[in-house]
Amino acid sequence: MSASICLIHDSTSWNKSRYAAAIYLVSYTRNKVMIKILNQRWSRYYVSVLIVIFLGVFLRFFMLSNQSLWFDEGLSLGNSDVSTLQESISRVRHIKDSDRFQPLYFIVLFLWRKVFGESEFALRSLSAVLGIGTNIVIFFTALRIYGKKHALWSLLIVTFSSFCVYYSQEARIYALAMFIASLQLYFFSKVLVKNGDRQSISKWLFGIFAGLGIFSNINMLAFTIALCLSHIAIYRNFRQWLQWWLPAAFFCTLSIFYHLTLPGATDPESIVISRLGFPIIQNILFVLNGILVGTTYGPSMEQLRGDDRIQVLLHYWPHILLLLIVCTVIFLALIKVLLRYKKNSSESHPDYFFASVFVLAFLLGLVLAVVAKFNWVPRHSYYLWFPLAMLIPSVLSQKPGISSKRYGISQFAQIAVISLIVLNIYSLFNYYFNADYQKDDYRSVVQYLIKNQSPSTKSVFLFANPRLFRYYGDTLTLNGMDLGDPLRKGIIEEHFAERIEKLTNNADTVLIVVNRDHLFGKGLIEKQMSDLYKLDSKVNFTYFKIYRFPRKKN
């Protein structure tokens, strides 16, 4: 009897052990499969990220030296024409135009030229590298705040942004300023995640890059102030706010002090800039359009300079209507997201913060443009892309912490975001391949002048960048900007023809070269030259007009 009981007991124990082993095996197998699936998903995700980054590298280096350096890039070249670092630091303080308020780039460009030379590719490659760095920093910022899916969409948006690619292929300050702004936002993002404010090193790094940002470009002040005000308004933690902004205030004060000590800093009228020449509402629309789809979407800049700009805009009505529909859908979807957060008492959600940053930065940039009386264009508001890159994917993302539930966003919002990326790709196609959207063609102009110059034919430029003439090999064209520079003095000096005659030493034929002919008014140059010369022909290059004036025979 006892033996039977023992046998039954042993049999039961053996069955239990077998059952437990089976459960363990199933559990182990299931966990192993789950780990494998997660690893596969993780691998696919980061392969996707690497592909998008590679596309960003390709777009920023593609046809990098295809177009000639243009007027403003010539300013960068001239501002970095020094032999030593000490000379570079001294040079940037004495720049006569608004570039004096963005000195850091010219110092960095000087160092870059020392290593890589000054070919078109070398000069622009600095901006291309910085643009790629900005994409990567934006990805990791979004990853920290929102998660993987949102981060990939943010990366896609900035990678294919026509605006971002355009300034990543230009030897100007904006790629550097955007890179610094992205780092500033990355370190500040510690505030936007749980327990992130305890990272004291991030506070100091944020402060350093906030100060560097203002040193790199005075317009960055609008972005930094918007961050500051949005931080206290959305999160309402005064102690945390002080901990982050006291170090930032120290470094920003150093940069602001530097700008205030520059000649003409307190007198905007004394600075040579492109003054506000259009209704401010036109500037506002131009800024928003340029930020969202770049300046190569719709009509070109040259087409919009004429008196028939209204007809030109009407001709592009399908482009404008499509952009308006896409932006309206995204805007309404974003409002819906923000209202849902409000309903759930989540006013401190990062989306509220970035919405506040965008609105405040936009308004501050507008105020700065009105006070300083300069023409407000998209490149002056480059910092607006960062809150947008964080906000736009929110219309697609799932509710934080709930992976199975969509956050009430309609299918139209998904189509709109994809459409926005497609519109930017179309804009990029125009930028790369459509000659109507090219920049000032100094390269072709110099080739033409060298071919046509002779002892009896002299060339004079009235409004152009003299550094670029030398850069492309023309040392003979005479500088006539004192006779007709629309940004510095009267458009045309008195006795213009006589002064041209004297400048060219009574040459039989004079070639008058004008970059941005529209600044002088229609027919003005022909009229002023008519006393001593007759117009023989006109040759057009991108943003250039060359007048050929033989002397009248007595």
pLDDT recorded at residue 309: 74
Amino acid at 415: I
Tell me, yes or no, whether 187 lies in a domain.
yes
Tell me, yes or no, whether 387 lies in a domain.
yes
Domain total in the chain: 2
pLDDT in tens, 63-79: 999 999 999 999 999 99
Q: Residue 7 pLDDT more than 70?
A: no
Torsion of CA 7, 13, 17, 18, to 10 degrees: 40
- Based on the domain organization, do 361 and 465 belong to the same domain? no
Mean pLDDT value across the chain: 86
pLDDT recorded at residue 492: 73
- Nearest alpha carbon to residue 67 among 475, 452, 422, 543: 543
- Based on the domain organization, do 335 and 471 belong to the same domain? no
- Based on the domain organization, do 430 and 471 belong to the same domain? no
For the chain, the 3-state helix, strand and coil shares in percent, each to the nearest 5, are: 70, 5, 25
- Nearest alpha carbon to residue 218 among 273, 139, 148: 273
In the chain, the N- to C-terminal Cα span, in Å, equals 144
Predicted confidence band of residue 485 (pLDDT cuts 50, 70, 90)? low
pLDDT in tens, 289-329: 999 999 999 888 777 776 777 888 888 999 999 999 999 99
- Based on the domain organization, do 398 and 471 belong to the same domain? no
Q: What is the DSSP letter of 512?
A: E
Sign of CA dihedral 362, 363, 365, 369: positive
pLDDT in tens, 341-389: 776 666 678 999 999 999 999 999 988 888 877 778 899 899 999 999 9
Token couple for 416: 């709109």
Instruction: Tell which of 437, 455, 474 closes a domain.
Output: 437
Tell me, yes or no, whether 31 lies in a domain.
no
Q: Residue 544 pLDDT more than 90?
A: yes
pLDDT recorded at residue 540: 93
- Based on the domain organization, do 504 and 378 belong to the same domain? no
pLDDT recorded at residue 402: 39
Instruction: Tell which of 415, 437, 459 closes a domain.
Output: 437
Q: Can you give the residue range of the structural domain that contains 351? A: 62-437
- Based on the domain organization, do 526 and 503 belong to the same domain? yes
Burial class (CB in 10 A: 0-12, 13-18, 19+), 110: buried
Tell me, yes or no, whether 514 lies in a domain.
yes
pLDDT recorded at residue 550: 95
Whole-structure pTM value: 0.88
- Based on the domain organization, do 71 and 164 belong to the same domain? yes
Sheet strands side by side (includes 478-479): 478-479, 457-463, 509-515, 544-550, 537-541
Q: Which of 125-129, 482-486, 506-510 has the lowest mean pLDDT?
A: 482-486
- Based on the domain organization, do 248 and 292 belong to the same domain? yes
pLDDT in tens, 141-166: 999 999 999 999 999 999 999 999 99
Distance CA 349, CA 314 (A): 41
Distance CA 309, CA 132 (A): 35
- Based on the domain organization, do 290 and 251 belong to the same domain? yes
Instruction: Tell which of 437, 453, 476 closes a domain.
Output: 437
pLDDT in tens, 10-56: 555 555 555 555 555 555 555 555 555 556 666 889 899 999 999 99
pLDDT recorded at residue 398: 47
Tell me, yes or no, whether 390 lies in a domain.
yes
- Based on the domain organization, do 218 and 301 belong to the same domain? yes
